[in-house]
Amino acid sequence: MSESTVTTPARPSAKPRKVPRIVILGGGSVGLYSARRLRRRLGNREAAIVVVDPRPYMTYAPFLPEAAAGSIDARHVVAPHRRALKGIDALQGKVSAIKHAERTVEITPEEGDPYWITYDHLIVGLGSVARTLPIPGLAEQAIGFKNVEEAIAVRNHVLGRIDRASSTWDADLRKRMLTFTFVGGGFAGVEAIAEVEDMARDAIKQYKSLDAEDLRFVLVEGSRRILPEVSEELGGYTLEQLRKRGIEVFLSTFLNSCVDGHVVLSDGTEFDSETIVWTAGVKANPVLQNSDLPLDRIGRVIALPTLQIADAEGNVVPDAYAAGDCAAVPDLTNPGQFCPPNAQHAIRQANHLADNLARVLRSAEPTDYSHKNIGAVASLGMYKGVAQFMGRIKVRGFLAWVMHRTYHVMAMPTWNRKISIMAGWTANLLWRREVVPLGSIHDPRAEFRAASVPPKPKPAPAEDHSPVPSTEATPSASA
């Protein structure tokens, strides 16, 4: 079929429906929790609910570091939409355009042509993506840390490099293999490097040819401190603990280049590293730029404290709501600030948004979202952590680690996931966690492709064109 004959399905015109259709863009924390809450508030005869996401599951991001370290099975940090969203329609596809004035959304499935769906009410919960910079070599060399696939990739990559290094006699190559670089000193970066370093030191005990001193972990942070979400005291304690474990931390330092794994930092430090993990911030989903919704200067949807979308003058955009990382929601407990992009706010905003939409559909007034941050918890590997509550209560070590696990496992949706995670933790206490690399999982057809390539034919022996001596002219040996 020629390119000129390919057509995109026509945008449908809105048709009267028996019940209003609520379309939720994004199946992450905002999408899943708001959909579940709406279904409890509104019966099937009051609203039809549709969730759109390119993945068939929600990823609980706070557990990604533990999934990367093998403390939690990667399957257990996701909540399948088909199971978690009972009585709710789920469409698997990427949102590619939003025309709110026409109440339509374009969806691009992984296979097949894009299509449009109509709605009566819209919830934008598209979340965020990694905020990258035009650093030479970054796109080619680095691994992100925003979803479960990337967490598994980091785990397999680190364990795979340890496995290869154990059979490598080239000292420089081994050093390059065993150097692991993490960029970004927020919660994601600190938890990721702490958990993965803990796993790597556990794994290296199984190799007689390697020592723990062979491992090199490097954390690069552009600001003057790590963990800005907690007090400077806890941030300083975390920095001290990381350095005690031999992790090199570069503060007020930036990644300038990582072409072919050669890392160059802004302070002039240079070294080779085959593993570069990027956790340096997030940005609102860029698909919002392809919409007619009002955005702020950094690309987030403008929202009121009621979680209704509004224009720059504060006028409500009818039938549109937003929450989570992609929304600029005013923080009423900190005037002039916006709610930070974390799971704690996303889940609470999702539930409040659903309540407000249910109120509006029943001709009641929406209420403002206000939540004072109760604190923060972070894991620094097995039996280690930091926690801060109510701005004053600071906890360190084993108790903080227990509090981290308790808080997040209770926030994990669906009881089967909670139980599975706790069962996995119990098993790890009784037996050592598995530290086997499964590198081929990211390209399962590689070995089959190699086996399918026919062997190259052997070159035919070269013909000898030299003159053959005549037997008549050559004297015999007996002559």
For 329-359, how does the pLDDT look when each residue is reduced to its tens digit (9 = 90+)?
Answer: 999 988 889 998 888 899 999 999 999 999 9
Does residue 390 have a pLDDT over 80? no
DSSP 322-389: E-GGGEE-B-TTSTT-B--SSHHHHHHHHHHHHHHHHHHHTT-----------EEEEE-STT-EEEEE
Least confident residue range of 91-100, 134-143, 309-318, 389-398: 389-398
Exposure of 58 by Cβ count < 10 A (0-12 exposed, 13-18 middle, 19+ buried)?
buried
Give the C-alpha separation, 189 to 278, whole Å.
8
Q: How many CB atoms lie within 10 A of CB 199?
A: 24
Mean pLDDT of 262-268: 96
Q: Which has the higher per-residue pLDDT, 242 or 231?
A: 242
Give the C-alpha separation, 388 to 375, whole Å.
5
Does residue 319 have a pLDDT over 80? yes
Domains 21-54+93-130+283-361 and 138-280+375-430 share a fold: yes
pLDDT value for 3: 39
pLDDT value for 392: 76
Highest mean pLDDT among 99-103, 143-147, 372-376: 99-103
Angle at 192 between CA 189 and CA 198, to 5 degrees: 135
Under the banding of pLDDT at 50, 70 and 90, the label for residue 443 is low
Average pLDDT in the chain: 87
Dihedral, CA atoms, 175, 178, 182, 183, nearest 10 degrees? 20
Contact between residue 39 and residue 89 where contact means Cβ atoms under 8 Å apart: no
Does residue 50 have a pLDDT over 50? yes
Q: What is the CATH number of domain 21-54+93-130+283-361?
A: 3.50.50.60
pLDDT value for 15: 56
Share of the chain above pLDDT 70, in %: 89
pLDDT value for 226: 92
Does residue 292 have a pLDDT over 50? yes
Does residue 293 have a pLDDT over 90? yes
Which residue is it, tokens 């706010």?
Answer: 345
Starting at the earlier edge strand, list the strands of the sheet with 385-389. 375-379, 385-389, 393-396
178 bridge partner residues: none
Under the banding of pLDDT at 50, 70 and 90, the label for residue 476 is very low
Does residue 17 have a pLDDT over 60? yes
Structure tokens at 363: 């001709």
- How does pLDDT run across 175-217, given as a tens digit for each residue? 999 999 999 999 899 999 999 999 999 999 888 989 999 999 9
Exposure of 461 by Cβ count < 10 A (0-12 exposed, 13-18 middle, 19+ buried)?
exposed
Distances (CA, A) of 106 to 27, 91, 99, 113, 320: 16, 12, 8, 10, 16
Does residue 4 have a pLDDT over 50? no
Under the banding of pLDDT at 50, 70 and 90, the label for residue 394 is confident
Tallying the residues shown for the chain, one arrives at: 479
Least confident residue range of 94-103, 251-260, 261-270, 399-408: 399-408
pLDDT value for 242: 94
DSSP 173-221: HHHHHTEEEEE--SHHHHHHHHHHHHHHHHHGGG-TT--GGG-EEEEE-
Contact between residue 283 and residue 299 where contact means Cβ atoms under 8 Å apart: yes
Q: Indicate the domain borders of the chain.
A: 21-54+93-130+283-361, 138-280+375-430
94 bridge partner residues: 108
Under the banding of pLDDT at 50, 70 and 90, the label for residue 463 is low
- How does pLDDT run across 410-433, given as a tens digit for each residue? 988 888 889 999 988 888 877 777
Structure tokens at 367: 């209420």
Under the banding of pLDDT at 50, 70 and 90, the label for residue 257 is very high
3-state secondary structure of 12: coil
Mean pLDDT of 272-290: 93
- How does pLDDT run across 77-132, given as a tens digit for each residue? 999 998 899 999 999 999 999 999 999 999 999 999 999 999 999 999 999 988 88
pLDDT value for 477: 38
Angle at 282 between CA 425 and CA 143, to 5 degrees: 65
What residues contact 361, with CB distance under 8 A and at least 6 apart? 20, 42, 46, 47, 121
Least confident residue range of 257-261, 411-415, 451-455: 451-455
Under the banding of pLDDT at 50, 70 and 90, the label for residue 440 is low
pLDDT value for 12: 52
Tell me, which fold does domain 138-280+375-430 have in CATH?
Answer: FAD/NAD(P)-binding domain (3.50.50)
pLDDT value for 99: 97
pLDDT value for 416: 87
Does residue 2 have a pLDDT over 60? no
Dihedral, CA atoms, 294, 300, 302, 308, nearest 10 degrees? 100
Helix H segments across 228-339?
232-244
Backbone angles phi, psi at 93, to 5 degrees: 175, 165
Which residue is it, tokens 């959304």?
Answer: 105
Angle at 467 between CA 462 and CA 472, to 5 degrees: 140
Give the C-alpha separation, 443 to 439, whole Å.
8
Q: Which has the higher per-residue pLDDT, 268 or 7?
A: 268
Does residue 295 have a pLDDT over 80? yes
Contact between residue 157 and residue 143 where contact means Cβ atoms under 8 Å apart: yes
Structure tokens at 255: 């990644």
